[in-house]
Structure 1
Amino acid sequence: MKEKIIKKATDLFLNLGFKSVTMDDIAHEMGISKKTIYVHFTNKTKLVEAVSFSVFDVICDGIDGICSTSLNPIEELYDIKMFVMNHLERENSSPQFQLKKYYPQIYATLHLKQFEKMHDSVCESLKRGVDTGLFRDNIDINFISRMYFNGMSGIKDHSIFPLELFSMHYLMESYLEYHLRAIVTEKGFKILNQFITTNQL
């Protein structure tokens, strides 16, 4: 039952927002009593936390799968971008923004977990790119990885990149190309150009 509650709450929170969905709404949607939810989650904050970390784990598993099967670090980053974009398509209510505003402690913990996961993943990808001659061998992997995370977080700031001017797809596509062009070798640049040309939407 606990997993069923998390699954239904995830759908409702991501589509309608953390703030607007009540425990009554979740109970009604599931056809159960609110008391049943409180058996597993003492309050809404605990449920929001469980949902946030559950979504994070799903995305981490997907990224790990991509990293273990990708042809090269350039395509790997694009595959991860597509995977994350497909996940974000369901999010109609800016859940990251709502989480930051209404549940700042959960947001701070999640943000740190996101950084740690992305930092490890991107460092591995950068090392593989250097080893295969696709990325320059003089890049500072630790610095580039942190800059990449900072940039990916920054493009989600709607006060700087309003959605009426920039779609999230455009922002992620453009930032990814910006990031890769700064670190590729001539060999990597050919693969990047070829990939962009053949995957233009």
Structure 2
Amino acid sequence: MEIKERIIQGAGKLFFARGIKRVIMDEIASEAGVSKRTIYENFDDKTQLLKETLDYFQHEHDCNLKRMTEQADNVIEIIIGILHYGLESIKVVNPLFMEDLKKFYPNIWDESVRKSRESGQMELQRLLERGKREGLLRPDINPHLVARIFYEQITLIHNNEAFPIDEFPRKELFENIVLNFGRGISTPKGVEMLEKLLSDPDSGKNGPG
């Protein structure tokens, strides 16, 4: 593993666990097993390190989801996989990370949301078309519109004004969005398959990969 990647992975681990503002460069250096000087030889400052860390993990996220969609037998399996993958991610990412990102790095937040929305919506549209061909998703849905609605709902997970975290735990919120979405766009055959997979405690638990 290259030094730059080690730094990014170390920074990501600390940022996701504790938020951004609470993490100092000395701690990132210790986590990555490098000197602070080495960090500054590869990144201008903490802002650049944060930006490249987000780009790195977004790319990893996209690759994982692509691999999952290629390995799944049908779109319902993918919905279950997305559910478990998202729930595992919520366990890893401290809400303070999102709060810090929006508050202190609004430009990076906006760019991150835009990139995630663009790549995610395109992939979701393809999955919706696939599900219609498989007879598991309703033939009357508009994939472009439905994909947009889904990603706008997902973005709201991080809106503490709309969903205060002490009232709406992120795990429960994400689970409700994904399952209500999946049930709402599925045919009776798709809903039956969805409920069957949900009743299987081992279905999709490994998520992508």
TM-score clears 0.5? yes
Candidates 6, 18, 21, aligned match of 2:20: 18
**Alpha-carbon distance between aligned partners in 1 of 2:84 and 2:114, rounded to the nearest angstrom:** 22
Which residue in the other structure is 1:161 paired with?
163
Specify the alignment match of 1:41 in structure 2. 43
1-side partners of 2:65 and 2:82: how far apart? 6
Task: Measure, in 2, the Cα distance between the counterparts of 1:93 and 1:173.
Answer: 16
What is residue 56 of structure 2 aligned with on the other side? 54
The one-letter code matched in structure 2 to 1:145 is A
Q: Letter of the aligned partner of 1:185 in structure 2?
A: T
- Mark the runs of 5 or more structure 2 residues left unpaired by the alignment: none
Q: Which of 72, 94, 98 is the equivalent residue of 2:96?
A: 94
Partners of 1:127 and 1:121 lie apart in 2 by 10
Report the CA distance between 1:195 and its aligned residue: 2.4
Match of 1:173 in 2: 175
Deviations 1:44-93 (A, max 9, x none): 11101111111111111111111101121122012022123222312224
| Rounded Cα–Cα distance in structure 1 between residues aligned with 2:31 and 2:190 | 50
**Which residue of structure 2 lines up, in the alignment, with residue 79 of structure 1?**
81
Q: Partner of 1:183 in structure 2?
A: 185
1:10–1:51 CA contact under 8 A, matched in 2: yes
Decide which of 115, 118, 121 is 2:117's aligned counterpart: 115
Any unmatched runs of 5+ in structure 1? none
Secondary structure of 2:107 counterpart: helix
User: How high is the TM-score relative to the length of structure 2?
Assistant: 0.88
In the alignment, the residues of structure 2 paired with residue 27 and residue 126 of structure 1 have an alpha-carbon distance, to the nearest angstrom, of 43
Return the offset for 1:30: 4.5
- Residue number among 118, 142, 153 corresponding to 2:144 in the alignment: 142
- Structure 1 residue 104 displacement after superposition: 1.2
**Greater RCO, CA 8 A, separation 6+:** 2
The one-character-per-residue Cα deviations of 1:149-172 (angstroms, maximum 9, x if unpaired) are 011111332222223333222212
- What CA distance in whole angstroms lies between the structure 1 residues aligned with 2:48 and 2:141? 42
State how far apart, in whole Å, the 1-side matches of 2:106 and 2:6 are.
25
CA distance in 2, matches of 1:170, 1:93: 14
Percent identity over the alignment is 29
> Quick check: 1:62–1:83 contact (8 Å CA) kept in 2?
no
